[in-house]
Amino acid sequence: MHKKQANEDVILADMHADGTKFTKELAARKKAKEFQKERVERLKSKK
């Protein structure tokens, strides 16, 4: 799973380098992913 995440990051970086119009969408997706991680961490710490 960790490796897949790294690959996604590389792909995102490549797309940023291309200066594509997807930048905003990717940024939003990354933010959503981080938010999801935070929620998972919070749930774990409650247990």
Q: What are phi and psi of 19, to 5 degrees?
A: 65, 40
* Spatial CB neighbours of 23, under 8 Å, sequence gap ≥ 6: 15, 16
pLDDT digits (tens, 9 = 90+) for 7-43: 777 766 666 566 665 677 778 899 999 999 999 999 9
Statement: residue 1 has pLDDT above 60: no
- How high is the pLDDT of residue 15? 60
The pTM (predicted TM-score) of the whole model is: 0.42
Centre a 10 Å sphere on the Cβ of residue 5 and count the other Cβ atoms it contains: 10
